[in-house]
Structure 1
Amino acid sequence: MSMPANEESGEPGASIPSRPVTARRTQTAQAVQTVRTVGFGALTAEELDAWHLLRAANPLLDSPYFHPGFAAAVHAGGREVRVAVGRDQAGGVRALLPHHRERSLTRPAGWPAADFQGPVLAPGSSFPPLALLTGGVRGFAFDHLVEGCADFEPWVESRCPSPFLDVSGGLEGYLGRASRSGKDNMGQARRRAAKAERTHGTVRFVADAVDTELLSRVVELKRAQYAATGARDYFAEPDRHDLLTRLLHTRDSSFGGILSTLHAGPHLVAAHFGIRSENVLHWWFPVYDPAFAGLAPGWMLLRELATAAPALGITRIDLGRGDDEYKRRAKTGETQVCQGIVTRSSARQALRRARDSMVTTAKSSALGPSLRHIARKFRTFNR
């Protein structure tokens, strides 16, 4: 299942709600009639079992973000996760949507680092989004809603591609499906790994390292990258480093964190921390040491992960939304994720459209970094 290294007895991982033996049983699609919102810790055994059953019946929900283990880990860190539980006319659980509340706005659980979002429900079932607007809540904002949630369509403002790698059959299988650019970059990665070994020492890849010190180094490199690019520092909130540590020590067969590392001699050249559920790995926090940028270490790491995929039981690597060049080159396919806000306020929707229009203009503007910096500031407005 994994290639462990440096196993530690560190802090325990988040408690994973048990997966029922009948988790692959198909659920009958029915409309949600009532919605009740409770704290994650107050979910009943019936509701947790339904979460597993509904997710297993819907192929669109195979991302680890839809596993209850992700919501459990976020909630355990002190950032309350609440769950909207939808039931049908007979009282059966037909949908669950984990989220956070921030004053009058709610967001998907794990935001702003939840790369797939939406209700957990059976294919063809309906969910009433406006039922989320109770108790003073004026909006449910989403930015990575999976396609297929037809009930949210009136509030979708835009769509973006979310690329993935089909790594069925490992590296050989991937290369058979990759674009010419993807194949070329993987070939270059092999040659650069040989160069790194000649120059810096033996190249060592560990697919699943349970090592809190290495994880801290990943966070350190990621924060330096945020500072260098002017991006918002996700790890400025200390609980988010704790979240990764909790996920690292979550060693459940159906869900958990994976830290993969690539060394050349004594040097950590590149690393990645992601989450997996069954056969899907989400590419979450990739980093590399800028001192080795000339070796294209990100491609070296991606090549090693594709090679290790069969041993890990991974058949797909989700790269997440983004227009990064390496994602365009590496992908074998893509899905669509949606951005928008469920609200009864037409003024709020108009303001968001104006903001998004400015951000889009700034991204393509020849005025360069100064205007894009203003756009980043504006993007936070009305969030």
Structure 2
Amino acid sequence: MKVSVVRPSDLGAAEIGRWRALQSSDPDLANPFLAPEFTLGVGRFRRGGPGRVDVLVGVVEDAGEIVAFFPFERGPLGIGHPVGFGLTDLQGLIAPPGLTLDARALLRACGLAVWDFDHLLAAQGTFAPHHTVRRVEPVMDLGAGFAAFDEEMRRSAPKTHKTIRYKERKLGRDVGEIRYVFASDDSEDLQRLMDWKSDQYNRTGRTDRFARAWIVALVEHFHRTGFGVLSVLWAGDEPVSAHFGLRSEGVMAGWFPAYDTRFGKYSPGMIGHLHLAEGCTLNGISEIAMGRGGKEFKEGFKGREIPIAEGRVARNTAGAGVHWIRATPLNKARGAVLDNPALYKRADRVLKTYAKLRGRSR
């Protein structure tokens, strides 16, 4: 096999067409984070430079035919990650089911000492020997239409469904008539969502992703091009919650949900998700990949799960050794927290307390 490494912008129409054809070979590859638009977008706005990250694609050929694409980021010392690492909820090779490559040979051809992943499609055989943890990612199954989804949720999660509908009615009575805009092209709506999300990050002690100019530019680009769908829940004249997701054909990937904290008692995010499900079915979308995290909230919505894995592939190089020393203890601690609901809640409280103390010291 031959591996050529190119920048995403160097891929031509034939390569993009082949990428899409490979996506269609496996339902889980249809996820927007694995679509060419995502890699092209990150490659455009996360530009490389000295000491910075390069966004690249390994094009794998066999007998003159492209059999796989391997999108990745490469940093100093050959440290590699999936494209959009920290922003993406699904990662992997764009390849037909059953294709298994030599993972270390692939890294060598791509100039990587190590490739660190945390949301990898677990079914891909190429990286299976390098998994350290396996988890699942919940998916909202809308294939039978919204009425069927709503009824199934009413049956399988009656308490959650009843609570959402009650709070929705109360929001309508207290604030104003409920309406939902599935796809807003208003830049002010997008800015409001980013402001809400930045406030949430700071309030809960997380890193503010929208403090990074390239992420803001990336989200704005996806919004302009239609790859990103901005949905807004209104109560009367008040915008209450919003969601920015990515769409690729019939699949949406949840990305940035946010809400106005003034209306927090109404659980506007959960109300918005139910309306998002209805909007998706009316617009040709049959499933929503919700990403891992916030597991309790998502249990009532899920219809199926995608097995994902965390781990790393490493070659015997100095760069890989340095990366192991830096990353392994942190990854183990994070994994322990994610897998233990009690630890997750405790860590969340600690972060929120830290955020309050940080705010007072300013």
Q: State the TM bucket, normalised to the shorter chain.
A: 0.7 to 0.9
Q: Structure 1 residue 176: deviation in Å?
A: 3.8
Task: Give the drift of 1:359.
Answer: 3.2
Which residue number in structure 2 is paired with residue 264 of structure 1? Answer: 235
Cα RMSD of the aligned pairs, angstroms, is 2.5
* Within-5 A mapping of 1:287-326: 287-326=258-297
Partners of 1:275 and 1:367 in 2: how far apart?
28
**Aligned residue in 1 for 2:201:** 226
Secondary structure of 1:201's match? coil
Q: Helix, strand or coil: the match of 1:57? A: coil
The aligned counterpart of 1:124 is: 98
1:119-198 correspondence to structure 2 within 5 Å? 119-130=93-104, 131-134=106-109, 137-178=112-153, 180=155, 182-198=157-173
Distance 2:179 2:109 in 1: 53
Identify if the C-alpha distance between structure 1 residues 371 and 192 changes in structure 2 by more than 3 Å, giving closer, same or farther.
Answer: closer
Say if 1:188 and 1:75 are closer, same or farther in 2 by CA, change over 3 A: same
Deviation of 1:189 after TM superposition, in Å, equals: 2.1
Match of 1:358 among 298, 314, 333: 333
1:163 partner SS = strand
1:339-378 matched pairs, under 5 angstroms? 339-345=310-316, 352-361=327-336, 364-365=342-343, 368-369=346-347
Runs of at least 5 residues in structure 2 that lack an aligned partner in the other structure: 48-53, 355-362
Q: Secondary structure at the match of 1:120?
A: coil
5 Å matches for 1:46-85? 46-79=14-47, 80-85=54-59
CA contact (8 A) 1:341 1:349 kept: no
Structure with the largest fraction of helix: 2
Amino acid at match of 2:288: I
Letter in 2 for 1:55: Q
Aligned with residue 202 of structure 1, among 158, 163, 177: 177
Mapped to 1, the partners of 2:102 and 2:349 lie a distance apart of: 39
In structure 1, how many angstroms separate the alpha carbons of the residues matched to 2:181 and 2:103?
43
Q: Which amino acid in 2 is paired with 1:238?
A: A
SS of equivalent to 1:158: strand
**Contact 2:122-2:128 within 8 A present in 1 as well:** no
For 1:112, the equivalent position in structure 2 comes to 86
| Matching residue's letter, 1:37 | V
Report if aligned partners of 1:157, 1:353 keep a CA contact under 8 Å in 2: no
- Once the two structures are superposed, residues 33-75 of structure 1 have per-residue CA deviations (whole angstroms, 9 ceiling, x without a partner) of 1211111122233322211111112222010111111112222
User: Deviation string for 1:270-316 (max 9, x for gaps)?
Assistant: 11000011111111111111111111111211111222222111111
Counterpart of 2:358 in structure 1 is none
| Counterpart contact for 2:131–2:309, Cα < 8 Å | yes
1:37 corresponding residue in structure 2: 5
CA gap of 1:286–1:181, structure 2 versus 1, over 3 A, is farther
Amino acid of the structure 2 residue aligned with 1:174: F
The worse-fitting range, judged by mean Cα deviation, of 364-373 and 205-214 is 364-373
Distance 1:193 1:239 in 2: 36
**CA–CA distance in structure 2, aligned partners of residues 153 and 259 of structure 1:** 35
Residue 97 of structure 1 is matched in structure 2 by 70
Cα separation, partners in 2 of 1:237 and 1:172, compared to 1, 3 Å: same
CA contact (8 A) 1:168 1:315 kept: yes
- Contact 2:223-2:229 at 8 Å conserved across structures: yes
- Give the Cα–Cα distance (whole angstroms) in 1 for the partners of residues 110 and 286 of structure 2: 42
Equivalent pair of 1:170/1:309 in contact (CA under 8 Å): no
Residue identity (%): 30
Task: Name the CA shift for 1:148/1:369 in 2 (closer, same or farther; >3 Å).
Answer: closer
What does the per-residue CA deviation read over 1:165-222, in whole Å, with 9 as the maximum and x for residues that have no partner?
1122333211343375634323332222222122111211101111111101101111
In structure 1, distance between residues paired with 2:7 and 2:38: 15
Per the TM alignment, residue 369 of structure 1 is displaced from its structure 2 partner at its CA by: 4.2
Report the CA distance shift for 1:260/1:227 in structure 2 as closer, same or farther (over 3 A).
same
* Counterpart amino acid of residue 69 in structure 2: L
Residue 284 of structure 1 aligns with an amino acid whose one-letter code is: W
Cα distance in 1 between the residues matched to 2:114 and 2:191: 35
CA distance in 1, matches of 2:148, 2:344: 40
SS in 1 for 2:189: helix
Residues 67 and 135 of structure 1: is their aligned pair in 2 closer, same or farther, counting only changes over 3 Å? Answer: closer
CA distance in 2, matches of 1:350, 1:179: 48
- Return the alpha-carbon distance in structure 1 between the equivalents of residues 222 and 189 of structure 2: 14
Q: Could you state the TM-score of these two structures normalised by the residue count of structure 2? A: 0.86
